[in-house]
Amino acid sequence: MSRLRLHCSIYVLLLIGLLVSHSPGSATEAAVDFADHAASSRHSDQSNGTITPIPTIEAYYLDQQKIVLDGVLDDAAWGQADTGWGFRQADPVRFGKASVPTTFKIAYDDEAIYFAVACWEDDMANVRSYLSRRDQIEASDLVSIYIDPYHDRTTGYNFRVNPAGVQQDAYVYDNGNRDNDWNAVWDAEVSSDENGWYVEIRVPFSAIRFKPADDMTWGLQVYRWLHGRGEDTGWVLWDRDSNGFVNRFGTLTGLQGVQNPRKLEVLPYVVTRHIDPAAEGDADNWQNSQNLGADFKYGVTSNLTLNATIQPDFGQVEADPATLNLSPFETYYQEKRPFFVEGARFFQHPDFRLFYSRRIGTGDINSRIRAAAKLTGKIGGDFSLAVLAATTDVAQAGKVHNPFVSGDEKSHYGLLRVGKEFDEGNHNINLMGTMVKRNEASFSHVGYFDGGASRTLRDGYSGGMDFEMNFDDRMYRVTGSMVGTVVDPFENELDPSLSRETQFGTGGRMQARKTSGTWRGSLAGRFETEKLDPNDIGFLSAPDEKIVAASGSYNFDADGQESPFNHANVELEVYRSWLYAANSGTDINTGDQAWDYGRNHHQFSGVNFNAWAQHRSFNSRIGPTSRML
């Protein structure tokens, strides 16, 4: 009898164990290996952001293992991966202890890199989550992951996810500037329970650029914004008085044998239009038009991407807002055409707008781009390259969608920008040149005063260089640039009196700054000659100016010390401006000289004083969300 009871007890225990092993369990149980206090070799000191100034974590290679992207951190691979932990407050108290812990793990296979983040929480009522459109996370908790695949300490990628699964991404350049127009195809899933919320992210290697190597090291930073608590926490932190961003990241190691395959994307399109003019006459007299073209994207190397388009159709692009401009200056419009938006940062000059893409294929209702191509990326890790070429014309009325019929006013555009970085991104120098070459014969019907034709009845060229140097851990920065333009007007048969004299213009800027520390300041100067004119492919409202400016500021951060204020700033700026060249004007009635002034005529002077402070009782939950990283 006792033996029977023993057998029955064993069977019951086995059945209970079987049921428990197959029960779904909670997300917390699945994420046990992510616990901030886990006593495991997977929680090493080198991956602890609290005790290691520049922490390091090793990515786990999946080999034959798989990660199911569902936001539940129960995959066996996560139990084998190292843990990043030791998050501290970035704000409001720099280096303060985080209210709740955050941990993460990283894995990869031959096609993608995976991130898993456990956002622990004592009270889920503190978690804020709102469903919104992609790239529009607001008033919500979030996880923010930065990677620097080139490990050049100046560029990188950012991926954000909130508890509702809303995704946001951006490209980071110049050690902290963001290009929010950059978009990639990547996946993220989230889950939550009473102990926190969890996120899994998959980023294909094909979505980012990097230099393949047998054993790669990337820069890495992970933030968590706790909106309900008004707290920003990070894996890597640095003193507020220190300048920089990407150069402060931790490191990600263990990425071995990863290849970035070359891929070709072709997106052809065919459009046909049938319009009823709704006029008297034959009811079947429809107006028909067709258009065809294609967009191409090819990975020339893992670092260089070629984009091309033939007869692009921008019919789905958002229209410009209505504006009323009563000034003598041209209205500046934001670029919204996808071909020019993607990678626009590669063509930017830091001080002068030598490239304004809205000059290409616009200006007339029948303007069109026949073909365009651009090559962007890096060569050898330290050299950056950006090349663009485009050809446009103005089609005949009703023929704008016919790619086989050539138009008038044919123009050819070219741009080249190359750069070189030195000393791990602390210094760089760039050269840039642009060209607009127009077919003079195709403009013979255009008069000088035909709506902006003064800019089209000519060829235009521009060039320049710019540099940036950082010293003493980026505390001191010196930047400068020089540009020049050449305008070569056509002979206008409709108005032979117009001068064909070639015009040359120059411009420049220099600035020295102390960018970090309690006391900061800057000294800058800029000039533009009266004939500086990049407007064939650039944008400049009004040249003919010289200006100098100086500023100084005092910055206070309590960072946990006893003080009535968390932060405070006092800044004083003075500036003075002159007109570069001499000028004079005449009375339109008599023709007599009405006014004149000489070179370096004073234009204006000014003084700005700004001060602000944040009281220690400030609740950042109701303050601006610009703090979230």
- What CA dihedral angle connects 397, 403, 409 and 414, to 10 degrees? 150
Q: What is the mean pLDDT of residues 399-406?
A: 78
**495 lies in a domain?**
no
In this prediction, residue 12 has a pLDDT band, given cuts at 50, 70 and 90, of very low
Say which residue the tokens 């109701």 belong to.
Answer: 622
Residues 176 and 246 in one domain: yes
- Non-local (6+) Cβ contacts of 365 within 8 A are none
336: phi then psi, degrees, rounded to nearest 5: -130, -5
Residues 102 and 232 in one domain: yes
Which whole-number Å values give the CA distances from 380 to 301, 302, 388, in the listed order?
11, 11, 20
Beta carbons within 10 angstroms of residue 3's beta carbon: 7
* Closest C-alpha among 32, 59, 356, 349 to residue 196: 32
* Cis bond before residue 92 (omega within 30° of 0): yes
Q: Give yes or no for a contact between 195 and 203, defined as CB atoms under 8 angstroms apart.
A: no
Q: Give yes or no for a contact between 376 and 346, defined as CB atoms under 8 angstroms apart.
A: yes
pLDDT exceeds 80 at position 303: yes
Q: What is the mean pLDDT of residues 50-56?
A: 94
The structural domain count of the chain equals: 2
**591 lies in a domain?**
no
Q: What is the mean pLDDT of residues 591-609?
A: 92
**277 lies in a domain?**
yes
Q: What is the chain's mean pLDDT, rounded?
A: 86
- List pLDDT tens digits, range 225-264: 999 999 999 999 998 888 889 999 999 999 999 987 777 8
In this prediction, residue 8 has a pLDDT band, given cuts at 50, 70 and 90, of very low
- As a whole number of angstroms, the distance between CA 359 and CA 539 comes to 9
**531 lies in a domain?**
no
Which whole-number Å values give the CA distances from 148 to 46, 48, 158, 314, in the listed order?
19, 19, 9, 33
Say which residue the tokens 């900061």 belong to.
Answer: 520
- As a whole number of angstroms, the distance between CA 562 and CA 76 comes to 47
Residues 214 and 143 in one domain: yes
Q: Give yes or no for a contact between 49 and 85, defined as CB atoms under 8 angstroms apart.
A: yes
pLDDT exceeds 90 at position 604: yes
Residue 528: predicted pLDDT = 97
pLDDT exceeds 90 at position 619: no
Residues 248 and 374 in one domain: no
Residues 154 and 92 in one domain: yes
In this prediction, residue 283 has a pLDDT band, given cuts at 50, 70 and 90, of low
Longest pairwise C-alpha distance within the chain: 130
**Among candidate residues 448, 471, 494, the one where a domain is terminated:** 471
Q: Give yes or no for a contact between 486 and 502, defined as CB atoms under 8 angstroms apart.
A: yes
Buried b (16+ CB within 10 A) or exposed e, 125-155: ebbbbeeeeeeebeebbbbbbbbbbbbbbbb
Residues 273 and 187 in one domain: no
Helix or strand (DSSP H, E) at 21: helix 2-21
pLDDT exceeds 50 at position 409: yes
**Among candidate residues 471, 505, 538, the one where a domain is terminated:** 471
What is the DSSP track for 161-183? E-TT--EEEEEEETTTEEETT--
Residue 448: predicted pLDDT = 53
pLDDT exceeds 70 at position 292: yes
Supply the CATH number for residue 88's domain: 2.60.40.1190
Residue 72: predicted pLDDT = 94
- As a whole number of angstroms, the distance between CA 209 and CA 207 comes to 7
Beta carbons within 10 angstroms of residue 424's beta carbon: 12
Which whole-number Å values give the CA distances from 621 to 121, 126, 230, in the listed order?
17, 11, 5
The pTM (predicted TM-score) of the whole model is 0.82
- List pLDDT tens digits, range 159-216: 999 999 999 999 999 898 999 988 899 999 999 999 999 999 999 998 898 888 899 9
Residues 404 and 346 in one domain: yes
Residues 69 and 118 in one domain: yes
Residue 107, judged by CB atoms within 10 A of its CB (0-12, 13-18, 19+), counts as buried
Q: Give yes or no for a contact between 298 and 262, defined as CB atoms under 8 angstroms apart.
A: yes
Q: Give yes or no for a contact between 357 and 317, defined as CB atoms under 8 angstroms apart.
A: no
Among the residue ranges 9-18, 474-483, 484-493, the one predicted with the least confidence is: 9-18
- As a whole number of angstroms, the distance between CA 545 and CA 529 comes to 7
- List pLDDT tens digits, range 537-594: 999 999 999 999 999 999 988 876 778 888 899 999 999 999 999 999 888 888 888 8
What is the DSSP track for 484-524? EEEEEEPP-TT-TTS----EEEEEEEEEEEE-SSSEEEEEE
- What CA dihedral angle connects 304, 308, 314 and 319, to 10 degrees? 40
Residues 192 and 279 in one domain: no
In this prediction, residue 36 has a pLDDT band, given cuts at 50, 70 and 90, of low
Residue 450: predicted pLDDT = 53
- List pLDDT tens digits, range 419-442: 999 988 899 999 999 999 999 888
Residue 4: predicted pLDDT = 39
Which whole-number Å values give the CA distances from 484 to 364, 431, 466, in the listed order?
28, 12, 12
13 vs 82, residue with greater confidence? 82
Beta carbons within 10 angstroms of residue 590's beta carbon: 8
pLDDT exceeds 50 at position 17: no
SS3 (DSSP) at 344: helix
Say which residue the tokens 């033939």 belong to.
Answer: 310
Amino acid at 465: M
Range of the domain at 449: 264-315+335-471
Amino acid at 406: S
Residue 593: predicted pLDDT = 87
Q: Give yes or no for a contact between 203 and 184, defined as CB atoms under 8 angstroms apart.
A: yes
**587 lies in a domain?**
no
* Closest C-alpha among 367, 451, 453 to residue 410: 367
**Among candidate residues 471, 494, 517, the one where a domain is terminated:** 471
SS3 (DSSP) at 441: helix
pLDDT exceeds 90 at position 274: no
What is the DSSP track for 78-108? HHHS--BB--EEEESSTTPBPSS-EEEEEEE
Residues 271 and 207 in one domain: no
How does DSSP classify residue 553? E
Percent of residues, the chain, with pLDDT higher than 70: 86
Residues 181 and 279 in one domain: no
Six token digits for residue 136: 């529009």
- Non-local (6+) Cβ contacts of 254 within 8 A are 58, 59, 60, 61, 215
**36 lies in a domain?**
yes
Q: Give yes or no for a contact between 529 and 507, defined as CB atoms under 8 angstroms apart.
A: yes
* Closest C-alpha among 32, 34, 83, 31 to residue 59: 83
* Closest C-alpha among 141, 145, 142 to residue 104: 145
Distance of CA 206 to the CA centre of its chain: 18
pLDDT exceeds 80 at position 20: no
Residues 290 and 222 in one domain: no
